Structure 1
Amino acid sequence: MVEKPGHQPPSRVADCCQAGLFTATILVSAFLLFWVQPLFAKMILPILGGSSSVWTTSMLFFQFTLLAGYLYAHFSSRLLAAGPQILLHLILLGAAFLSLPFYIDSTNAETPAGSPVFWVLSFAALTVGLPFFMVSATAPLLQRWFSLTRHKDRDNPYFLYAASNLGSMAALFCFPLIFEPSFGVHLQTIYWRTAYGVLAALFLASGIVTFTNLDFENTKKSPAKDQALPASESDRISTASRLSWVFLAFVPSSMMLGLTSHVTTDITPIAMFWIVPLAIYLLSFVLVFSRYRHLIGDKGLAAIIILCTSALILMKFAGFVKTADAAMISIALHTTLFFATAWLLHGYLSSSRPRAAHLTEFYLWLSIGGMLGGMFNAVVAPIIFNQVYEYYAIILPVYFFAMKVLVEKKSAGAAACQSGATINLATLFGMFVVLLLVADTIMSRPITATVRWTFVAGSTASVVIAGIAALYALGRLPRHLVFYVIVLAVLCNALVLYSTHTNLLLTRSFYGSLKVKVKHDSDGVPYHLFIHGSTQHNLQRVAADARERTEPLLYYHRQANLTHAIRAIQSHQSHQHRPLHLGVVGLGAGATSAYLEEGDTATFYEIDPEVVAMAKNRNYFTFLDDARGQTEIIVGDARLQLQKAGNDSFDILLIDAFSSDSVPVHLLTAEAVEMYLHKLKDDGVLIFHLSNRYLDLKKVMQGYRLPDGSAIYYASKRGVEKPADSAKLSVGLFSHSRVALIAKESALPEEITLSTRWLKLEHDPDFTTWTDDFSNVLGVLKF
């Protein structure tokens, strides 16, 4: 290109300075974007009972807002010249600064009844919406402006996209490793506002450099075609390309959220387990937009996908995931599977990326795909599926798609490769959604064998016919995919036949998945088992005799620590000849009501309406109906609802609100414990059920500073023998429990203070007490 007088190309030093300034600005903007995401989710987590769905819903909001930012960047680039666009963005950045710092008082916020998805979205918009919107628009705007300057790399500004992802990853790892363990959430919002000010200053400098270094020829016409880029043959982007970008962005986005839900449901919704999948997601973008795109070829990535998925299937059917070590191996396999999938599919996106003139539109369609992935997981899947099947609706078609990639004899061009990948994967995805809907419909209710077989036969035939028709209609796909469709139908229906007869209830809510299954012991006696997430919570014998039905089992077995504590406290307080008032945070199947005597009262606090409906249904459990005392259920977050209860209300307050192995941290803070103690009578006892496969919550108990004269006693497996009859049932009739008691020493009976099973805990000054502003779950992970 021949430069006109007065428009000489900048020197190498000027080019380096400009690239450094733009890179620094994009790094800071990306850092802010991915700092605020886990920070906001952590701030609203207490309001929503510690549910793992908080992260999925928060991500949906951020994906919506990111899309809005990209729309703003795209259309403002089309409608405004560089100068007015720079001025407009600076004005909006300043307006957003006035809304900072954002802070949420989680102890007083009220959520609506039912699913709070749309409440989360609107709440996020009012608190962090405008600042996030402005920061999200910064990266595509800067890359667009860079392409309008006279910089030597102006026709290929995608290196800035890699820098953006590196800044995002830096924030994701700084949050759990530095910010969360060191600073409270309020202080972090102050620091975030300061960093936002730095971004505004860098953006101003970048705007000045852009305006003074404009390539006026480049602003009037599209850049010259760069033969080095894998761009399309014409400036016009086809509808097929746009749809392909959307779907190839949709699959990794949905898979990332599915993986996050899978991990945080089994462990706990903490930042580290939110961040790892998101960091891997971003790392895949860094790799595919760099020279390391083909470090592992498509066939190598496909082989990794097949090996990881096959190993997970074997672990599932062999029952290896029942142990904690196997669960961690399973998480590692899921993570590797996701990394390979994101790398493969984002690689197709990279290969088909357009030239710089269409840069903002490319990011816009990627953002739409990511947003649709979030919407599928957060909104659509909970409506159409009774269990958390959306993750399998992604990984199973990816598995079969990887088989196709592996057996292909040669690679096609970028456009053909992208188009073929999209059509094949979209077809498989649609088929699997249909198959899982069929399986979910059958497995969600008990039906007769005849109806089940008829349904399976009909669904198999219809799915196979529909699959063949879809393959034919979508055109020229390998015939072996027809075979895959048949195999899918057979496998899915085999799963239905294998599982249906044991399920009484399969359902889900914002707060987790619920199952009620029928189990039989070695004598043929039936039991109803309640499973919340992946944890067996309650078990009830199905019998005509009410005394047999009301005998608590599993964690509430007569020889378990919880029962030992409650019975000892009841006996100790019985000399006062007054009815006991028992408060229970976490309803479950209502098994705790079996502890009530005539005249006693139990008040249950339960956040999930689906759990309440299950516990009240006599077809599943009869604990509440068979209770000898009076029961009351209050729906809502326990901590918010307990604040409304009068002081000196309870003789015993039991905190047992853990779904799966997920821990609602806000129920374990120092402020929460102080409030609990105020709600207890003078001789009342606070009980924490702390059983958890992954977290050592005893450390949290040792961090509390209690009033003078109060003490903490802790019991685990020590001194507890497993009942001889426990093995009569495959799931066991007894489960060891870890329990902590907090009360005045004088309120605790000798059966506890002098027992070998109970250990008195001393305050640990080295442990940083959890508060409403600070908690560090990584510090109590079991290694």
Structure 2
Amino acid sequence: MGVAAEVAPRIDAGAARPTRGPDGVAVTLFALTALIGSSLLFVMEPMVTKMLSPIYGGSPMVWNTSIFFFQAVILMGYAYAHWSQRMLGARGRLLIQISLAIAPLFLLPFTVPAWSQTVGSTSPALWLLLTLTMVVGAPIAALSTIGALVQRWYSSSGLPRSDNPYFVFAAGNIGGMLALLAYPLVIEPAADLATQARWWMVAYSVFIALAVACGLVMRFRFAGLSEAPADTVTVPPEQVSWARRARWLGLAFIPSSLMLGVTTRISAHVAAIPLIWVVPFALYVATLIIAFGLRNQRWMTPTVMAAAISAAVIPWTLYLHRGLAADIVLCLALVLVAGLACHGLLARDRPAPRRLTEFLVIVSLGCALGGAFNSLIAPMVFNWGAELPLVMTALAVLPLALRRQPAANKTWRLPGVEGLAKAFVLAGPLLVVAVDLDLGRYWLIAIAVAGCMPWCVLAVSRPRVMAVGALLTTGALFWYQTPDDSFRERTFFGAYEVYSQGGWTILSDGATMRGYQYATLPLRSMPVSYYGRPGPLGDLFANYGDRSKNISVVGLGTGAEASYGHAGQQIDFFEPDRASLDIARKRFGYLTGSQADVDVILGDGRVELGKAPDGRYGMIILDAFNSGAVPTHLLTREALQLYVRKLRPGGVVAFHVTKRNLDLAPMLQATARSAGLASLTGDGDVDPLHMYQASTWVAITRTDADLQPLRAKSQRWKTLPTGGPVWTDTQASPISTLTSE
């Protein structure tokens, strides 16, 4: 099948291209339109995700699924832009595009519909995608379509640098990165979500005006060129092979998937909030700006080699990490290095401007496939977070995408200083892994001398050896992660593991141990781990729970709180994940062994508690975790005010905030004081037999007098200093609460 020749707009090559006057105004117009369009698109992502996150239990997967949705709609917008240039006339294109841009105005400002919460057995991810389609599908489609067309129009305009219009692409990404960083730091603290949505509608109206102006510039600039002039040169289009298209696809897929994997990991250990979401995303966008905005690419080869080395050592390093701060820095550095390597290779291989929209379609398809892999496929295929090490392994093949070196460089030679330095960089983390595995001193020496160093010297000079090594180390990690004697299940809300050890049945959620239970009678019904009677929760039930007819618990876990129930009591658990309910009922005995009437209500705790009558509960317990993080929307001042409305006089709200990565107790006490409430923090210690784990609980009541029973009967309850941060629905930063493991 032949390829039709394309006709380039006639440009007077001999004339200088002025950057001032009308042309300068036109260049500014196109760059500003691209910048504002990308800013609107990128700032919408954390805004809408924050709107929807509470409805879906504060799961980190809300962000990943939302990013995939944005990527998919952007792909459709780029595909339309590519198709319309070939199939529609100039006048028809302009009319259709203006109509597409204006139509979403009738759907703004966007709000979350009442039906958006998942119901019954409906897949949360699919229901979230449906909600996003109805809420923001139209404006995203318009932004992505017009954004791609603005770049295509500029490449055909004859304006300065129209022969290399990728600077417009970079300008748009600069706007997107600035918008991402501005959201948690400026926009989120300044206004509530409803006000943000109205501001966004105003800015979108400005974008429409600019886009129409760009279209009119193109229309008037080429009004007389409906047919090619006689002296116009017909240039055959650049040939693009399917292998090259596949390379574009892979280079777009890897950083997209890796960025989402890192975001999930950090969110699960810190908090699912915009500040955590946007930092990896902003770094990802920054790599696009650097790769497509800089003409000098001397940094390409060392960056690609650094990414390949990361593939061989980072998966195990992350698995054996010892500190949260180091883990975050390592993950963010990985996003930066991998993004620079992949996007740099993409930028170097970008086609001529005639193939711009095709290139954008393929790149956006790769990004969307990366999002689909992390948000839809991986949770169904893997019962642990396998997508991150898998995608990291793919980085090891990047050196193969570099241009082939001359044959003289491929001969066997002793490594120079640079080669030995790279080998030691590669060997260091591998030896750290060996030390952590506690193989013994002599085995460690044997590995270093006989295997590790020779392999590292060979790997840094032979990309295929590097790729094989990365594949083997990741395969070993997979083998290590799949024990035969445990039950694992992964859902939209978490990754659960149930296993037996030392007479206990233990539940973990990601990297967090959620609780355990005696495996045999008669001690099977005894509350242990964080929930023992000698600990803070025992104090709370002794002073508030025993005289409460109705108790609510947000977060199910093993269901240990049910063991405190007695005849005539009603205990309502609120849990968004049906899989968690099945685990509690089938693999732990607290729910079935309780003397109280136990009911489990599927849904987000804050949303469902809001439906309960005011004054219903004598005790409300917040025991919800996503891996190591408590969902942020359950901890804000507005949430506290809701819980207090549901309390009867003299009741208590109890938060389980056992320290892992965040020290939430000072924040909760400060937030309670800002709401006019009283609070105490209680700590429990681990016992020599490990029946009970060290735990921290925060008790909040309407008045200080309501806390008197805790002060009178226990020395463990205390008031913390007043210096903690205050969290609200519009501002909740975990940075000040970070702790070291």
The question of a shared fold, defined as TM-score above 0.5 by the shorter chain, is answered with yes
Structure 1 segment 159-178 matched on structure 2, within 5 A: 159-178=167-186
Is structure 2 residue 244 aligned with structure 1 residue 241?
Answer: yes
- For residues 179-208 of structure 1, what are the alpha-carbon distances to aligned partners after superposition, in whole Å with 9 as ceiling and x for unaligned? 112221111111111111111121222222
Structure 1 segment 171-570 matched on structure 2, within 5 A: 171-214=179-222, 220=228, 235-291=238-294, 294-307=297-310, 310=313, 313-314=316-317, 316-317=319-320, 320-321=321-322, 326-398=323-395, 400-401=396-397, 409-410=405-406, 481=464, 488=471, 492=475, 496=479, 500-501=483-484, 503-520=485-502, 526-545=503-522, 548-570=523-545
Q: Could you say what the CA RMSD is over the residues aligned between the two structures, in angstroms? A: 3.4
Instruction: Indicate conservation of the 8 Å contact 1:697/1:780, yes or no.
Output: no
Partner of 1:751: 710
Letter paired with 1:689:
H
Is structure 2 residue 666 aligned with structure 1 residue 698?
Answer: yes
1:631 to 584, 588, 598: 598
CA–CA distance in 2 between the matches of 1:150 and 1:82? 17
Instruction: Indicate conservation of the 8 Å contact 1:144/1:360, yes or no.
Output: yes
Partner of 2:119: 112
Q: CA deviation at 1:44?
A: 0.5
- For residues 478-513 of structure 1, what are the alpha-carbon distances to aligned partners after superposition, in whole Å with 9 as ceiling and x for unaligned? 998589659846873586368515x42111111011
Is structure 2 residue 59 aligned with structure 1 residue 51?
Answer: yes
Aligned-partner SS, 2:689: helix
Single out whichever of 187-196 and 7-16 deviates more from structure 2.
Answer: 7-16
Q: CA deviation at 1:27?
A: 0.5
Partner of 1:585: 554
CA–CA distance in 2 between the matches of 1:3 and 1:311? 52
1:642 to 587, 609, 612: 609
Q: CA deviation at 1:173?
A: 0.6
Instruction: Indicate conservation of the 8 Å contact 1:308/1:334, yes or no.
Output: no
Aligned-partner SS, 1:777: coil
Partner of 2:588: 621
- For residues 297-330 of structure 1, what are the alpha-carbon distances to aligned partners after superposition, in whole Å with 9 as ceiling and x for unaligned? 324432354158525524634xx43xxxx12212
- For residues 20-67 of structure 1, what are the alpha-carbon distances to aligned partners after superposition, in whole Å with 9 as ceiling and x for unaligned? 111111111111010101100001011101010000110111011101
Partner of 2:701: 742
**Residue 121 to residue 752, structure 1, CA distance change in 2 (3 Å):** same
Aligned-partner SS, 1:725: coil
CA–CA distance in 2 between the matches of 1:284 and 1:738? 43
1:610 to 579, 589, 592: 579
Q: CA deviation at 1:568?
A: 2.8
CA–CA distance in 2 between the matches of 1:309 and 1:187? 47
Letter paired with 2:597:
Q
CA–CA distance in 1 between the matches of 2:207 and 2:462? 54
CA–CA distance in 2 between the matches of 1:504 and 1:219? 71
Single out whichever of 189-198 and 49-58 deviates more from structure 2.
Answer: 189-198
Partner of 1:434: none
CA–CA distance in 2 between the matches of 1:601 and 1:699? 31
Aligned-partner SS, 2:293: coil
Instruction: Indicate conservation of the 8 Å contact 1:714/1:758, yes or no.
Output: yes
Instruction: Indicate conservation of the 8 Å contact 1:9/1:150, yes or no.
Output: no
**Residue 551 to residue 570, structure 1, CA distance change in 2 (3 Å):** same
Instruction: Indicate conservation of the 8 Å contact 2:666/2:722, yes or no.
Output: no
Q: Percent identity?
A: 29
Letter paired with 2:554:
V
Partner of 1:422: none
CA–CA distance in 2 between the matches of 1:261 and 1:402? 24
Structure 1 segment 101-180 matched on structure 2, within 5 A: 101-104=109-112, 109-114=116-121, 115-180=123-188
Instruction: Indicate conservation of the 8 Å contact 1:506/1:514, yes or no.
Output: yes
- For residues 436-460 of structure 1, what are the alpha-carbon distances to aligned partners after superposition, in whole Å with 9 as ceiling and x for unaligned? xxxxxxxxxxxxxxxxxxxxxxxxx
Partner of 2:439: none
CA–CA distance in 1 between the matches of 2:44 and 2:470? 44
**Residue 223 to residue 46, structure 1, CA distance change in 2 (3 Å):** farther
Partner of 1:682: 649
CA–CA distance in 2 between the matches of 1:207 and 1:246? 30
Q: CA deviation at 1:631?
A: 1.7
CA–CA distance in 2 between the matches of 1:257 and 1:494? 20
Instruction: Indicate conservation of the 8 Å contact 1:250/1:373, yes or no.
Output: yes
Q: Give the count of matched residue pairs.
A: 675
Partner of 2:678: 712
Letter paired with 1:243:
A
Aligned-partner SS, 1:567: helix
CA–CA distance in 1 between the matches of 2:463 and 2:316? 22
CA–CA distance in 1 between the matches of 2:103 and 2:130? 20
Instruction: Indicate conservation of the 8 Å contact 2:303/2:341, yes or no.
Output: no
Instruction: Indicate conservation of the 8 Å contact 1:716/1:737, yes or no.
Output: yes
Using the size of structure 2 for normalisation, the TM-score is 0.83
Letter paired with 1:285:
L
Instruction: Indicate conservation of the 8 Å contact 2:56/2:604, yes or no.
Output: yes
Aligned-partner SS, 1:210: helix
**Residue 307 to residue 636, structure 1, CA distance change in 2 (3 Å):** closer
Instruction: Indicate conservation of the 8 Å contact 1:703/1:769, yes or no.
Output: yes
Partner of 2:417: none
**Residue 488 to residue 706, structure 1, CA distance change in 2 (3 Å):** closer
Is structure 2 residue 700 aligned with structure 1 residue 725?
Answer: no
CA–CA distance in 2 between the matches of 1:395 and 1:374? 15
Q: CA deviation at 1:597?
A: 2.8
Instruction: Indicate conservation of the 8 Å contact 2:507/2:516, yes or no.
Output: yes
Partner of 2:624: 657
Single out whichever of 487-496 and 204-213 deviates more from structure 2.
Answer: 487-496
Instruction: Indicate conservation of the 8 Å contact 1:66/1:133, yes or no.
Output: yes
- For residues 403-444 of structure 1, what are the alpha-carbon distances to aligned partners after superposition, in whole Å with 9 as ceiling and x for unaligned? 7679975599xxxxxxxxxxxxxxxxxxxxxxxxxxxxxxxx
**Residue 44 to residue 675, structure 1, CA distance change in 2 (3 Å):** same
CA–CA distance in 2 between the matches of 1:588 and 1:265? 16
CA–CA distance in 2 between the matches of 1:554 and 1:248? 46
Aligned-partner SS, 2:266: helix
**Residue 177 to residue 305, structure 1, CA distance change in 2 (3 Å):** farther
Instruction: Indicate conservation of the 8 Å contact 2:155/2:162, yes or no.
Output: yes
- Unmatched 5+ residue regions in structure 1? 227-232, 413-477, 521-525, 574-578, 727-731
Q: CA deviation at 1:657?
A: 1.5
Aligned-partner SS, 2:599: strand
CA–CA distance in 2 between the matches of 1:335 and 1:261? 12
Instruction: Indicate conservation of the 8 Å contact 1:653/1:687, yes or no.
Output: yes
Letter paired with 1:240:
A
Letter paired with 2:25:
C
